[in-house]
Structure formats: structure tokens, C-alpha cells
Amino acid sequence: MKTPIHIAVTGAAGRIGYSLLPRIVSGDLFGPDQPVVLQLIEVPSVLKSLDGVLMELLDCAFPLLENAITTTDLEEGFRGVNWALLVGSVPRRAGMERKDLLSINGRIFVDQGRAIQRNAASDVRVLVVGNPCNTNCLIAMNNARDVPDNRWFAMSRLDENRAKVQLAEKTGRHCREVTNVAIWGNHSSTLYPDFLNARIGGRLVCEVISDVGWLRGGFIQSVQQRGSAIIHATGLSSAQSAAHAIVETIRSIAEPTSTGDWHSVSLCSDGSYGIERGLVASFPVLSREGCVEIVQGLQTDPFGQSKIAASISELREERSVIRELLKN
Ligand code: NAX
């Protein structure tokens, strides 16, 4: 048997956690021969419920689940972890904008960043899902300066998947035929799903879809507003699709990207495409030999540039709200 991978999941008793944990221990994440140790972190009021979630998981008798703990202690929760999945935070409710969440959630990510720095394995990688995930990631990363910036990610894969589905539906094609979808900017209602570089059945989207008005209007809005539409329909934010996007994000980081394609994830900007260095923004990326690189040289047009600029401006605004939390 391989050496187990240790994975911390915060907010593990939440709705995303409930969908995510079986995917991790079933082998979906790291393969059918990779044992895992789960380190599940919750707030004290929810620990009993988390213990129940773990009981259910144990009752599945997954061969790959080597060990699991539940805890409210960040030191114990992040000790020796190779991956930290920061899912826990207060979710967005109907009528709540992401910025409202900044003040509520920011402090959580200061403590978690510091605890990761003190306790995690030397190869730790971190994926932030709890919203506002880009800025929460920025906060945690800045409070763990010994962990290199290229180990920190925030999730934009759900937006990429949503964009693929919209493009597939519009053209009557299957979403597996849609490739090269880049999400730029913030995981928020300002995100920009890039149709200029996207492909359907290997052809550029603009060659397949002549309705430019839809691409510039309805398409973008439907991706930007999909989270709100789900909250409107169910009263709750996306959980199953989010858990699946977590699995896909981690696999796409860990495994080499298929030739000719890319995937979207938010990471610390190196200044590519004029996006301010140090901000955590979504880019199209390639994974090679364990490294994640921003795809270079993509075509942009003034329309796309203005959309990206608006989303980056929102990230700057979010940073200005939490600037105090970046000083460690
Ligand atoms: P739930 O409310 O079901 O679960 C959140 C869990 O986090 C709760 O059990 C809560 O006790 C726990 N928690 C809160 N503070 C914590 C802390 N300091 N330490 C550990 N645990 C803590 O929300 P759920 O539906 O699971 O969503 C979790 C987060 O994902 C939310 O912030 C949500 O907005 C965000 N999402 C992010 C997405 C993305 O693409 N980045 C998409 C889906 C989702 O909206």
C-alpha cells in the first residue's frame, strides 16, 4: 500500500462536506490505490453532527479510508496534512452579496492560514472554497508566508463547468465537447467566462455560435448568476456540483493537463495579462509535473479586457476591506 495522503477538510459537517467526503475516500480524488487519512474540522457547536457524518462514512467500509479524526482544534486538524480543503465558512444566503461575507469570514482564514503554516506537511497545498473564496485565500496565504504562494488555490472550476454546460445547451452538443473555457477574475457575479478562446468540438465558439449578443449577454449572465439561481430555487447554495468541482480541481492540479486544453483555478497572480501581482484571481492554467502554470499568450479583445478589469477591480476592493487581516 502507498503512504496515505492526509487531507484536512474544514466545514466538514456542511452540505458540501457531506457530498465531498465519500468522493475523497472512494478513490475519486487520488485513485483506487491511494489510502487517505481524513482530518475533519468543524466549529464546536457542530462537532456532534460531524461525528455522525463520520459514523456514516465509516459504515461505508471504504478500503481506502486509513484513518479519520474529527476536531475543533486547528493545530490537530492541520497537523501533517498534504492537502487542506478550506470549505467551512458562513454560506451566502438569499439577498446576501459576497462582500457582506468578507467581514464575517475573513478572521477565520487568518487563524487557518497560521495553523497551516505551523502544522501542515512541507508539501501542503491548499484549496479555498468557502466564500468569498479568492479573498479568503488571499488572507490565509498572507498569514502563512512560509508556505510558497504557488501552493494556494481558490475554486473557480464550478464556474468553468457551468459555462461549459451553457455553451453545450446552446449548441445542442454534449458538454464533454466543450473545451478551453477560461474563467477570469473573481469567483463572484463579476467573473468573466471567456468565450473568445473556448472551443466546441475543436472549433472556436465564435465559429459555432453566431449569436454574439447572447455570448456577450445571456451567456455571461447565466454563468455569473447560476449560484444565485440555485439559491433562488432551493434556498441553499450549490453543494453537489461544488463537491464535484473540488474533486476536479484537485485532480486537474495533481495530474498533467490534456494536450491542447486547460482548466481554470484562482491562484496568486504573477502579473500575467496585467493582473496585479499578489491578487488571487482566476486564470486558465496548465498542470505539468506537479507545477501549475498560467496559460500565456491567449487572445483578448477590448470587451473581454473590460470584463476582466471589472472583476479585478472588485478583488482590489475586497482586499481594501480586509487589508488589516493581511498583516501577520
Ligand atoms: P454549509 O453551511 O452547509 O456548511 C458550512 C460548514 O462550515 C458548517 O458546518 C459550519 O459549521 C462550518 N464552519 C463555519 N465556520 C467554520 C470554521 N471557522 N471552521 C470550520 N468550520 C466552519 O455550507 P456549504 O454549502 O457546505 O458551503 C460552504 C462554503 O462554500 C460556503 O462559503 C459557500 O458559499 C461556498 N461555496 C463556494 C463555491 C465555489 O465555487 N467557490 C460554490 C459553492 C458554495 O457556494
* Confidence at 198, pLDDT banded by 50, 70, 90: very high
Is residue 105 in contact with ligand 1, taking CB distance under 6 Å? no
pLDDT of 126 = 98
* Confidence at 276, pLDDT banded by 50, 70, 90: very high
Checking if the pLDDT of 224 tops 90, the result is: yes
pLDDT of 104 = 82
* Confidence at 239, pLDDT banded by 50, 70, 90: very high
Checking if the pLDDT of 312 tops 70, the result is: yes
Of the candidates 147, 182, 187, the residue with the CA atom closest to the CA atom of residue 163: 182
Structural domain includes residue 327: no
Please give the angle made by the CA atoms of 179, 182 and 184, to the nearest 5 degrees.
170
Sign of the torsion formed by the C-alpha atoms of 271, 291, 243 and 107 = negative
- In eight-state DSSP terms, residue 276 is P
pLDDT in tens, 149-176: 999 999 999 999 999 999 999 999 999 9
Amino acid, single-letter form, for residue 311: S
224 and 263 belong to one structural domain: yes
17 and 86 belong to one structural domain: yes
Of 133, 154, 175, the domain-final residue: 154
Of the candidates 189, 145, 162, 179, the residue with the CA atom closest to the CA atom of residue 284: 179
Domain that holds residue 269: 157-318
183 and 131 belong to one structural domain: no
Q: What are phi and psi of 310, to 5 degrees?
A: -65, -40
Q: What is the pTM of this model?
A: 0.97
* Residue bearing cell 495522503: 5
Query: CA-CA distance, 68 to 103, in Å (whole number)?
Result: 32
Structural domain includes residue 241: yes
CATH of the domain at 180: 3.90.110.10
139 and 161 belong to one structural domain: no
Instruction: Provide the angle, in degrees to the nearest 10, between the axes of the packed helices 302-322 and 98-119.
Output: 70
- Annotated active-site residue 244? The verdict is no
Is residue 86 in contact with ligand 1, taking CB distance under 6 Å? no
Helix (H) or strand (E) holding 306: helix 302-322
Checking if the pLDDT of 92 tops 70, the result is: no
Is residue 160 in contact with ligand 1, taking CB distance under 6 Å? no
Cα 186 to the center of its chain, rounded Å: 11
Checking if the pLDDT of 62 tops 70, the result is: yes
Which grid cell sits at 4?
496515505
144 and 201 belong to one structural domain: no
Checking if the pLDDT of 263 tops 80, the result is: yes
Structural domain includes residue 236: yes
Checking if the pLDDT of 122 tops 80, the result is: yes
Query: CA-CA distance, 223 to 94, in Å (whole number)?
Result: 17
Is residue 158 in contact with ligand 1, taking CB distance under 6 Å? yes
Distances (CA, A) of 138 to 65, 96, 122, 143, 165: 31, 21, 20, 9, 29
80 and 170 belong to one structural domain: no
144 and 230 belong to one structural domain: no
The number of distinct structural domains making up the chain is 2
Structural domain includes residue 94: yes
Checking if the pLDDT of 91 tops 80, the result is: no
pLDDT of 15 = 96
Average confidence (pLDDT) over 288-301: 93
76 and 176 belong to one structural domain: no
- Give the atom of ligand 1 at the shortest distance from the alpha carbon of 157: 40
Structural domain includes residue 120: yes
Q: What are phi and psi of 23, to 5 degrees?
A: -70, -35
What does pLDDT average to over the chain? Answer: 95
Structural domain includes residue 324: no
CATH of the domain at 86: 3.40.50.720
Average confidence (pLDDT) over 15-30: 97
Checking if the pLDDT of 102 tops 70, the result is: yes
Distances (CA, A) of 15 to 25, 91, 142, 212, 232: 17, 10, 28, 37, 17
237 and 142 belong to one structural domain: no
In angstroms, the first-to-last Cα distance of the chain is 40
pLDDT of 310 = 98
191 and 148 belong to one structural domain: no
178 and 302 belong to one structural domain: yes
- What is the three-class DSSP state of 272? helix
Percent of the chain with pLDDT over 90: 91
Of 154, 183, 199, the domain-final residue: 154
**Alpha carbon of 284 to ligand 1 centroid (Å):** 25
33 and 175 belong to one structural domain: no
Structural domain includes residue 19: yes
Of 126, 154, 182, the domain-final residue: 154
Average confidence (pLDDT) over 84-92: 88
Structural domain includes residue 29: yes
